[in-house]
Chain A
Amino acid sequence: EAGVAQSPRYKIIEKRQSVAFWCNPISGHATLYWYQQILGQGPKLLIQFQNNGVVDDSQLPKDRFSAERLKGVDSTLKIQPAKLEDSAVYLCASSARLAGPTYEQYFGPGTRLTVT
């Protein structure tokens, strides 16, 4: 079974530029998550999709971040314009329902963003 795919793996941009990240979840996984992980911290949820609908985007800085999941499969996360504090690893995950309310998450390798 193929895992969660993300690209690019690394990106360096200057502040005020824009950047986009791409994620392809595990086939058949309806739920997709984008997390931001700052060095030394645990992942923080930015947005969660169920199929192509948004379940939770309460921690997404909507003035500069946007995300979409067209057709309920691939997803893109965009930052425009980027700030220095956006430097982090952006992780994509998808989840499978095991039984009842139990879901297990699977993560991609992440995209390391450096804003200079």
Chain B
Amino acid sequence: KQEVTQIPAALSVPEGENLVLNCSFTDSAIYNLQWFRQDPGKGLTSLLLIQSSQREQTSGRLNASLDKSSGRSTLYIAASQPGDSATYLCAVHYGQNFVFGPGTRLSVLP
């Protein structure tokens, strides 16, 4: 069964800290992995997409890495800001099927 887990479930940090969110998946035969952000009451916004042949992707203060062999991806957020407060979800792409993790709820305190 293809399962995706995310650790931690929730995280609270002071503004300015660097932080790492973790995503683990059981089936390493992935096509790609996508990180999303979800604000309360809103849909999902795509942050980064890493293809299975890639090791990492960067966008501004965000860096996502992928290690297929160990079934892990990390999302690194540099110099966190209160506006980064949201739930972060990873989705693993198998064929045309996307399997989502439960998310990490991030609070960045001013």
Q: For the complex, count residues of B whose C-beta is within 8 A of A.
A: 25
Interface SS, B side:
strand
Name the A residues within 8 Å of B91 (CB-CB).
Answer: 42, 105
Stretch in contact with the other chain, from A12-20, A75-83, A107-115: A107-115
Q: How far is the CB of B44 from chain A (nearest CB, A)?
A: 4
Q: Is the CB of B32 within 8 A of A102?
A: yes
| Cβ of A22 under 8 Å from chain B | no
Q: Is the CB of B41 within 8 A of A102?
A: no
Name the B residues within 8 Å of A93 (CB-CB).
Answer: 44
Q: How far is the CB of B74 from chain A (nearest CB, A)?
A: 17
| Cβ of B71 under 8 Å from chain A | no
| Cβ of A50 under 8 Å from chain B | yes
Interface SS, A side:
strand
| Cβ of B89 under 8 Å from chain A | yes
If A44-B100, A56-B97, A112-B41 touch, does A106 touch B46 (CB 8 Å cutoff)? Answer: yes
| Interface contact tally, CB-CB below 8 A | 65
Q: Is the CB of A107 within 8 A of B98?
A: no
| Cβ of A95 under 8 Å from chain B | yes
Q: Is the CB of A91 within 8 A of B44?
A: yes
| Cβ of B28 under 8 Å from chain A | no
Closest residue of chain B to A30, judged by CB?
Answer: B96
Q: Is the CB of A42 within 8 A of B89?
A: yes
Tell me which of A31, A35, A55, A109 contacts B42 (CB under 8 A): A109
Provide 25 A-B residue pairs closer than 8 Å at the C-beta atoms, listed in order of the A residue: A4-B43, A33-B98, A40-B102, A41-B102, A41-B103, A42-B4, A42-B89, A42-B91, A43-B44, A43-B89, A43-B100, A45-B97, A50-B96, A102-B32, A102-B49, A102-B51, A103-B32, A103-B96, A105-B34, A105-B44, A107-B43, A107-B45, A108-B43, A110-B42, A110-B43
| The 7 residue pairs across chains A and B that have the minimum distance between CB atoms | A42-B100, A107-B43, A107-B44, A109-B43, A42-B102, A101-B31, A110-B43
